[in-house]
Amino acid sequence: MNEAISNCKNWRMDNTEVVTESDGISVVYLHGKRIAEIGDNWLRLFDGGHRTNTTKSRLNAILSVHGGGFDAIFQKNFEWFFHDSMRSMAIPFESGMEVV
């Protein structure tokens, strides 16, 4: 998945798909739901309407390569957060948030 994003290639395996749009933005889908958009200098993450462990796993894999200072999404008391190690803080996750 991350290799396809980095190389602006279309890719699909099982329930995950990367589609590169004409403007060079890579869009990641899980079960047909948009969960990420990756541009040259930004990343927008979505929960796809399902805050599941699988969704969180895919988003964390994307963050590990393309996320800058945002290391991971974690869950606490049924709520999702970004862990920002550069600032040593947790930021509440909102679907559609942009990470620069």
Quote the pTM value: 0.92
Structure tokens at 47: 């929960």
Confidence bin at 43 (pLDDT 50/70/90): very high
d(CA 17, CA 33): 10
Domain coordinates of the chain in residue numbers? Answer: 2-99
What's the pLDDT at 69? 62
- 30 touches 24 (CB < 8 A): no
Structure tokens at 57: 């796993």
60-89 pLDDT, tens digit per residue, is 999 999 987 667 999 999 999 988 777 778
6-29 pLDDT, tens digit per residue, is 999 999 999 999 999 999 999 999
- Mapped onto helix, strand or coil, the DSSP state of residue 15 is coil
Backbone angles phi, psi at 88, to 5 degrees: 50, 55
Structure tokens at 62: 């994307």
